Amino acid sequence: MNAPEKLPPLDTTQLGRFVDQAWAERIVPQLVDYIAVPAKSPMFDADWQAHGLIDKVVRDAAAWVEGRKLPGLKLEVIRLEGRTPIIFFEVAATKANSTGTVLMYGHLDKQPEFSGWRSDLGPWTPKLENGKLYGRGGADDGYAVYAAVSAIEALKAQGQAHPRIVGLIETCEESGSFDLPVYLDALKDRLGDVSLVVCLDSGAGNYDQLWLTTNLRGNITGSLKVEVLTEGIHSGEGSGVVPSSFRIMRMLLDRLEDAKTGHLLPEVFHCEVPAERRAQAEATARILGKALHSNYPWACGADGGLTLPTTADPVETLLNRTWRPTLSVTGVDGMPAMANAGNVLRPCTAFKLSLRLPPLVAGHEAAVQLRALLEDNAPYNAKVTFEPDGRVGQWGATGWNAPALAPWLEGAMDQASRNHYGAPLGFIGQGGTIPLMNLLQEGFPKAQMMVCGVLGPKSNAHGPNEFLHIAYATRLTAAVAEVIAAHP
pLDDT in tens, 326-337: 999 999 999 999
| The three-state (H, E, C) secondary structure of 394-420, written as one string | CCCECCEECCCCCHHHHHHHHHHHHHH
Strand partners, 125: 122
> Residue 468: pLDDT above 70?
yes
pLDDT digit string (tens) for 260-295?
A: 989 999 999 999 999 999 999 999 999 999 888 888
Q: Is the CB of residue 132 less than 8 Å from the CB of residue 470?
A: yes
Instruction: Enter the DSSP assignment of 128.
Output: E
Lowest mean pLDDT among 93-97, 211-215, 389-393: 389-393
pLDDT at residue 65 greater than cutoff 60: yes
CA distance 6 to 9: 9
Q: By percentage, how much of the chain surpasses pLDDT 70?
A: 97
- What pairs with residue 20 in β-bridges? none
In this structure, of 126-140, 143-157, 185-199, 310-324, the range with the lowest mean pLDDT score is 310-324
For the cut 90, the answer to whether the pLDDT of residue 211 exceeds it is yes
What does the pLDDT look like over 371-416, one tens digit per residue? Answer: 999 999 999 999 999 999 987 788 999 999 999 999 999 999 999 9
Locate all alpha helices (DSSP H) within 432-469, ordered by sequence: 435-443
Label residue 309 by pLDDT band (50, 70, 90): very low
Q: What is the pLDDT of residue 313?
A: 87
pLDDT given at position 393: 80
* C-alpha–C-alpha distance, residues 438 and 247, integer Å: 38
The superfamily CATH assigns to domain 12-216+400-486 is Zn peptidases (3.40.630.10)
More confident residue, 304 or 288: 288
Average pLDDT, the chain: 94
CA gyration radius, the chain: 24
Please, which pLDDT band fits residue 32 given cuts at 50, 70 and 90?
very high
Q: How far apart are the C-alpha atoms of 377 and 248, rounded to whole Å?
A: 12
* pLDDT for residue 6: 63
Question: Is the model more confident about 475 or about 437?
Answer: 475
Q: What are the domain boundaries of the chain?
A: 12-216+400-486, 218-270+325-388
* Cβ atoms 131, 469 nearer than 8 A: yes
Q: Determine the Cα–Cα distance for residues 322 and 426; give it in Å rounded to an integer.
A: 15
Whole-angstrom distance, CA of residue 386 vs CA of residue 224:
4
Q: What is the mean pLDDT of residues 6-30?
A: 93
| Closest by Cα among 191, 201, 284 to 450 | 201
Q: What is the pLDDT of residue 95?
A: 87
What confidence category does residue 310 fall into, taking pLDDT thresholds of 50, 70 and 90? low
pLDDT value of residue 434: 86
- pLDDT band for position 300 (cuts 50, 70, 90): confident
- Taking residues 40-66, what's their average pLDDT? 97
Residue 1 has pLDDT above 60, yes or no: no
Distance CA 45, CA 28 (A): 26
> What is the per-residue pLDDT for 100?
92
Q: Could you tell me which residue, 488 or 386, shows the higher pLDDT?
A: 386
Percent of the chain at pLDDT > 90 equals 87
Query: For the domain bounded by 218-270+325-388, which CATH number is listed?
Result: 3.30.70.360
